[in-house]
Amino acid sequence: MAAKDRHASRRNKLISKIKKADADALLVTSENNVTYLTGFSGDSSYLIIGPNITLMISDTRYTTQIEEECSGVDVYIRTARDQMADVVGKLAKKAGIRKLGFESHIVTVKLRDSIDKELKATELVPTSDLVEELRSIKDSYEIAETRLAVRYAERGFETLRSNLRRDLTELQVAHDLEHSMRTFGAERAGFDPIVAVGNRAALPHARPGKDTIGSSDFVLVDWGAETTSNYRSDLTRVLVTGRVLPKLRKIYEVVLLAQKRAIAAIRPGAECVKVDEIARSTIADAGYGKKFGHGVGHSIGLQIHEFPRFSPISDEVLKPGMILTVEPGIYFPGWGGVRIEDDVLVTRDGHEVLSTVPKEFDQQICDIR
């Protein structure tokens, strides 16, 4: 499917949702949502969309870029003197919109009040996650882009393992990893890579620092790549860089079992909360329940954390086309932690693990200089 047809199809699906939300049109303010619906890769631009209107509001920086990237979209280019709220009010009035939906999970109270002040005869209707619900089901193009993001990440990690040295700092390894992924074709890292040595691996979102690889016996690496179309991957592995600690092996095997059991439960119709519970109960049964606090996984796409999620409070059901991470972990402050993460596609009859980085414990043992 051509890009223009792909974006038009997405907009048509959204219009059906807008009607169900009892609105005449929707003001899309999320940059990622604007990109998803139009193909526009810039920022600071809104989209008003409804049965009778598809209008992007941007500024003079993007006039040519919109012409190159977008199709089937009318454009209003505002000047430096135009306030966005004023423009939205003027265009809504001109289009005869009486009920204008807005992304209540995105729009600030200040922006909402500013727009409302300009709308006068138009009612603002709060909506939530209309576009995000569409984004949760990836089409063939998005699945292909995610596969590509996974490949970039995997090739970068292979280079990391080959070049790992005891004297390298966490920060140097993180920088080298991102450089490698870019060399293989990635636009950039999907997020700031986490490289956490030893006890710092107990921080699920540790920031790479000056600790060297050789200062401990293991290192946790959480990384991903982003394609030129902004789709992302997200993986985690723990490498053994020194002694093979019995405690590390024991904890690793529990986390790996929890992850494998959760992945095995992924299929259309499965409840996200049940997948989370499978991994969580495996860890709890091994005696480490209090050492695992975060959700088991999340969707990926144009953002690294998308809808839906595997968590104890999720009420979502899996559908074909969803892509989620599965990443249980066990963390001991002062000692370290283990997390194993892969990207999984929900297929029509089950699932497919998109990532292929080896993850058995003995496969994580590195002979480094």
Domain CATH number, residue 317 = 3.90.230.10
Q: Is the pLDDT of residue 256 over 80?
A: yes
User: Are residue 116 and residue 240 in the same domain, yes or no?
Assistant: no
Number of domain units in the chain? 2
- Are residues 128 and 149 both part of a single domain? no
CA–CA separation, 46 and 76 (whole Å): 10
Give tens-digit pLDDT for 118-177. 888 899 999 999 999 999 999 999 999 999 999 999 999 999 999 999 999 999 999 999
Number of other CB atoms surrounding residue 290 within 10 Å: 9
Q: What count of Cα atoms within 13 Å lies in the side-chain half-sphere of residue 234?
A: 23
Residue 221 lies in a domain: yes
In terms of residue numbers, what domain contains 14?
A: 3-135
Query: Is 223 among the domain residues?
Result: yes
Query: Does a structural domain hold residue 344?
Result: yes
The answer to whether position 369 is within a domain reads: no
Torsion of CA 219, 304, 106, 19, to 10 degrees: -150
- In whole angstroms, what is the distance from residue 354 CA to residue 344 CA? 6
Over residues 174-202, the mean pLDDT reads: 98
Q: Report CA-CA distances (Å) from 234 to 3, 120, 130, 301, 340.
A: 25, 45, 24, 10, 11
pTM (2 d.p.) = 0.95
In 156-273 the beta strands, taken as DSSP E runs, fall at 188-189, 194-197, 218-223, 225-226, 235-240
How many CB atoms within 10 Å of residue 251? Answer: 24
Give pLDDT tens digits for 309-337.
999 999 999 999 999 999 999 999 999 99
